Amino acid sequence: MRVLGIETSCDETAAAVVVDGRDVLANCIFSQVALHGPYGGVVPEIASRSHVQTLPRMIDQAVSRAELDWSDIDAIGATFGPGLASSLLVGVGAARGLAQRLDRPLIAINHIEAHIYSVFLDDDAPIPEEVMPFIALVVSGGHTMLVLVTGLGQYEVLGRTVDDAAGEAFDKGANLMDLGYPGGPAIDRTAKEGNPEAVRFPRGGRLKASPMLGGMDPALCFSFSGLKTALLYYLRDHPLDGSEEVVADLTASYQEAIVEALAGRCRAALERREVQALAVVGGVSLNSRLRARLADVAADAGVRLLLSKPSYCADNAAMIAGLAGAGRGKSGGSDLAIDIDPNMRL
Ligand code: KG4
Ligand code: ZN
């Protein structure tokens, strides 16, 4: 089954073609980072306008790079949520139009589930059945959660952030240090030259059981707002003076606090559940320090570490088309009676 996937949940405009949920024939992405950079974050109105302008080109490119004709496409998969409403509407509208014109099924895909599926893309990736059950750390600009995956479509959220997402912690920290947007790649780069023990930042503290956690284990939940505040106070007391060494040490220390908070929760989850693997997905999974730390955590626990290829870590449409081709998502005609859902749950 050749699926055309469409992803417009946030600030990446993406289209891809994937065969049978695995073989990626084309993965086209237009990143709007340069458009949002001056504002220090994603501006929804700019994002949706840019999707309208760019999506037709991405879809055309995906079909032609896959060396297919329109009639070769067997189904259209699109992100229905979670994400920005005005952005989701653009992708779903285009997908509905294509499904109608080509007379093919339309498949509604959950963006977080697709991130988790991203470790199964390409022929050399593991086969899903062979690594079940596993624990997935989903870390992006909008989400931070630990999920127990017992099969495709079978998920138990073990923990999540009670405030900022890990990617937000990177972005907001970088903003305070004047490193530009998005902050994750900038901090990753600068931190390589720095000493992670130069400044001791809080590692997300110890959360207490509360109704806010919805019954989830506090030891598996995250909090990053205190870290951001700690950086703010640190900078107030120690203003940056243009020294590259100081910025390197500060970014390395700040990154270390985020990475240790994530790694510690992964270790705790692996102690509590008997699994075969630990997967880390989403834009923050590109972080080099996080990859290295989680390799240690997985080795210590005697489980495999599953990483998606760099081109499938941040938002992309291959993961959407892949998941749809693997038989997930609600499927129907172009009149599929499902609406976008900005708060869609896993
Ligand atoms: O998955 P993604 O593209 O979008 C969402 O679904 O949110 O993730 C974007 C996030 C941003 O916060 C960005 O700063 C972060 O991923 N990111 C990184 C790195 N590359 C991207 N964070 C840390 N280190 C990186 N190398
Ligand atoms: Zn995402």
Q: Mind spelling out the 3-state secondary structure of the chain?
A: CEEEEEECCCCEEEEEEEECCCEEEEEEEEECHHHHHHHCCCCHHHHHHHHHHHHHHHHHHHHHHCCCCHHHCCEEEEEEECCCHHHHHHHHHHHHHHHHHHCCCEEEEEHHHHHHHHHHCCCCCCCHHHHCCEEEEEECCCCEEEEEEEECCEEEEEEEECCCCHHHHHHHHHHHCCCCCCHHHHHHHHHCCCCCCCCCCCCCCCCCCCHHHCCCCHHHCECCHHHHHHHHHHHHHCCCCCCHHHHHHHHHHHHHHHHHHHHHHHHHHHHHCCCCEEEEECHHHHCHHHHHHHHHHHHHHCCEEEECCHHHCCCCCHHHHHHHHCCCCEEECCCCCCCCCCCCCC
Domain ranges, ordered by start, for the chain:
2-117+313-332, 129-308
pLDDT in tens, 262-273: 999 999 999 999
> Residue 313 C-alpha to ligand 2 middle, in angstroms?
8
List of residues 6+ apart from 53 with CB closer than 8 A: none
Among 3.30.1330.10, 3.40.605.10, 1.10.10.2520, 3.30.420.40, name the CATH number for the domain at 129-308.
Answer: 3.30.420.40
Which atom of ligand 1 is least distant from the CA of 168? 12
Listed as ranges, residues in the chain with pLDDT below 50 are none
pLDDT in tens, 195-236: 999 999 998 767 888 888 888 999 999 999 999 999 999 999
Residue among 10, 170, 251 to mutate when testing ligand 1 (max atoms within 8 A of CB): 170
**Do the domains 2-117+313-332 and 129-308 sit in the same CATH topology, yes or no?**
yes
Residue among 27, 286, 293 to mutate when testing ligand 1 (max atoms within 8 A of CB): 286
Taking each helix axis as running N to C, give the angle between helix 244-272 and helix 183-191, from 0 to 180 degrees, rounded to the nearest 10.
110
Q: Is the peptide bond before 182 cis (omega within 30 degrees of 0)?
A: yes
> Residue 237 C-alpha to ligand 2 middle, in angstroms?
35
Which atom of ligand 1 is least distant from the CA of 111? 6
Q: The domain 2-117+313-332: what is its CATH number?
A: 3.30.420.40
Pick the ligand that lies closest to the CA of residue 311: 1
> Residue 21 C-alpha to ligand 2 middle, in angstroms?
18
In the block, which residue shows the tokens 């999506």?
55
Which atom of ligand 1 is least distant from the CA of 9? 6
Residue among 284, 287, 288, 309 to mutate when testing ligand 1 (max atoms within 8 A of CB): 284
Per-residue confidence (pLDDT) for residue 211, from 0 to 100: 84
Considering only CA atoms, which residue is closest to atom 23 of ligand 1? 184
Which atom of ligand 1 is least distant from the CA of 11? 4
Per-residue confidence (pLDDT) for residue 212, from 0 to 100: 82
